[in-house]
Structure 1
Amino acid sequence: MKNFENIQFITLANTLVSLLTAFVLGSVVGFERQFRQRTAGLRTNVLVAVGAAIFVDLAFRVGGADGGSRVISYVVSGVGFLGAGAIMREGGSIRGLNTAATLWGSAAIGACAGASLILEAVAATAFVLAANTLLRPVVSYVNRQPVDSQTTEVTTVIHIIANVEQRQAAMTVLEDVLETEQLPLSELKIDQFGENEVEIEAALSEASVDELDLDRVTASIAASPAVRTAFWAARTV
């Protein structure tokens, strides 16, 4: 009975409003993605928005503003992992970037709702929806324009995701494979990827490398226990 005695109905009502807002706005974003048959559709975006709202609302109720701000940063990191999974499934072309960005937007919408910032959540939904709809014809128009091959340079980049503790081992695997395949490196960059992982980006000096060779190289790297995943992408400079 103590559990029922401790119920604060005003607080409970605020929580329900936050969750309902996250559900409705996540559905708006998700419906557009589902209509276009994207990887992350209606259910995924709703779950991301509602999940973010639950965590943020709980954090504000238990830990106050400080707890809420900490949990929001954790939500950003957690959704980053979810978005990375969507990107990996698209293969070397990294066609899942828009899907990952939309999931991130849904999480931000849910976080606003969980923090009782309802109008901000509605505004965020409008901008995410506009980015996925209104900008589509602009992108299509730009992509149809002829490219000046003399001013465009295409670089092949190998991406490696590894645990922070396995960073050096992953670097060694990369160097060994590239040396075996005789692929010289032109640029190497290492960034934090979430809380416990790093992303290694290795740009190759060779502008034109056969796709089958690149698939073989990334498969060899990904086979190492020190590497969680590896893929390649063509980057236009």
Structure 2
Amino acid sequence: MMMPISIFALRLAIAFVLGALIGLERQYRQKSAGLRTNTLVSVGAAAFILLSVSLTDNAGDPSRVAGQIVTGIGFLGAGVIMKTGMNVQGLNTAATIWCSAAVGTLAGAGLVAQAVLTAAVIMLAHLGLRPIGIRINRLNFNQEQAEDTGIYYYTFKLRCKEEVENHLRALMLKHIKKDKSLQLRSLKSSDNSTPAYVYVEAQIMSDGNNEQAMEKLAAKLTLEYGVTSITWEVSGQQDSEG
């Protein structure tokens, strides 16, 4: 006996509602597969299952159709995954589409309670696990920052015309004094057998990795008249505990 249209419509409506609920959260997050996509995936999966049941008068095997749905959704999910350099985006969206198809398949097979439960778990994964994921990312970020603690020693060298040496030394001292995390250990000059030019070398100690301060100092002095070259490097490191 063919499935009554009322049961067909009810199961399709359940797939529609549950798919829309999943899509609402994705739409709110401004994802590429949002409200309409997840709703259509859920409804489509349910429709294929209902088609199988209707054509075979419940004598067929809807699980075979379900297997084909899983394969087909795999191609659809691959379309939303983008790779930019070393970054991959869209995996979460693709997984959501896959899950929406599962919800629709359950609804189409008449497993309403299971479909509702699956949709609830999907929503829980998005809403409940997202804050946890953000905290874990922050924890990893803080751990990376912790690895940069300790004492760092930098060697800063510049080559300039002899006439601007004193001016550049004063600028360098002023910059280091302004940064509380930096401390000047030594500052010396030499002509290196070329009297017209002077080589100024500073040994700087930093509380933590402070490469940005070195870059900032180099950028500032590069703009000064008479500077021909600037280099800097990490010359040593000491753990804060040691």
Same fold (TM over 0.5): yes
For residue 85 of structure 1, the aligned residue among 67, 71, 79 is 79
- Alpha-carbon deviation of 1:62? 2.0
Local SS of the residue matching 1:146? helix
Q: Write the distance in 1 (CA, Å) between the matches of 2:124 and 2:84.
A: 24
Matched, 1:125 2:119: yes
- Alpha-carbon deviation of 1:60? 1.9
Q: Write the distance in 2 (CA, Å) between the matches of 1:13 and 1:69.
A: 23
Opposite residue 102 of structure 1, the aligned amino acid is T
Q: Write the distance in 1 (CA, Å) between the matches of 2:51 and 2:98.
A: 20
Matched, 1:109 2:125: no
Matched, 1:67 2:61: yes
- Alpha-carbon deviation of 1:88? 3.1
Q: Write the distance in 1 (CA, Å) between the matches of 2:121 and 2:69.
A: 20
- After superposition, the Cα gap between the structure-2 partners of 1:33 and 1:132, relative to the gap in structure 1 and judged at 3 Å, is same
Q: Write the distance in 2 (CA, Å) between the matches of 1:80 and 1:86.
A: 11
Which TM-score applies when normalising by structure 1? Answer: 0.56
- After superposition, the Cα gap between the structure-2 partners of 1:50 and 1:91, relative to the gap in structure 1 and judged at 3 Å, is farther
Opposite residue 142 of structure 1, the aligned amino acid is I
- Alpha-carbon deviation of 1:94? 1.7
Matches of residues 149-168 of structure 1 in structure 2 within 5 Å? none
Local SS of the residue matching 2:99? helix
- After superposition, the Cα gap between the structure-2 partners of 1:16 and 1:131, relative to the gap in structure 1 and judged at 3 Å, is same
Matched, 1:26 2:19: yes
Q: Write the distance in 1 (CA, Å) between the matches of 2:75 and 2:45.
A: 14
- Alpha-carbon deviation of 1:124? 0.5
Opposite residue 25 of structure 1, the aligned amino acid is L
Q: Write the distance in 1 (CA, Å) between the matches of 2:140 and 2:89.
A: 21
Query: Does structure 2 retain, via aligned residues, the 8 Å contact 1:90–1:96?
Result: no
Q: Give the structure 1 partner of residue 230 of structure 2.
A: none
Opposite residue 35 of structure 1, the aligned amino acid is Y
Alpha-carbon RMSD: 2.1
Q: Which ranges in structure 2 are unaligned for 5 or more consecutive residues?
A: 145-242
Q: Deviations over 1:180-223 (max 9, x none)?
A: xxxxxxxxxxxxxxxxxxxxxxxxxxxxxxxxxxxxxxxxxxxx
Q: Deviations over 1:82-131 (max 9, x none)?
A: 10111137775222110000000100000001001111110000000010
4+ runs deviating over 4 angstroms: 89-92
For residue 48 of structure 1, the aligned residue among 41, 50, 61 is 41
- After superposition, the Cα gap between the structure-2 partners of 1:131 and 1:62, relative to the gap in structure 1 and judged at 3 Å, is same
Which TM-score applies when normalising by structure 2? Answer: 0.55
Higher helix fraction (1 or 2): 1
- Alpha-carbon deviation of 1:37? 0.4
Higher strand fraction (1 or 2): 2
Q: Deviations over 1:43-98 (max 9, x none)?
A: 00000000000001111222346430100000000001010111137775222110
Q: Deviations over 1:116-171 (max 9, x none)?
A: 1111110000000010110001100111113777xxxxxxxxxxxxxxxxxxxxxx
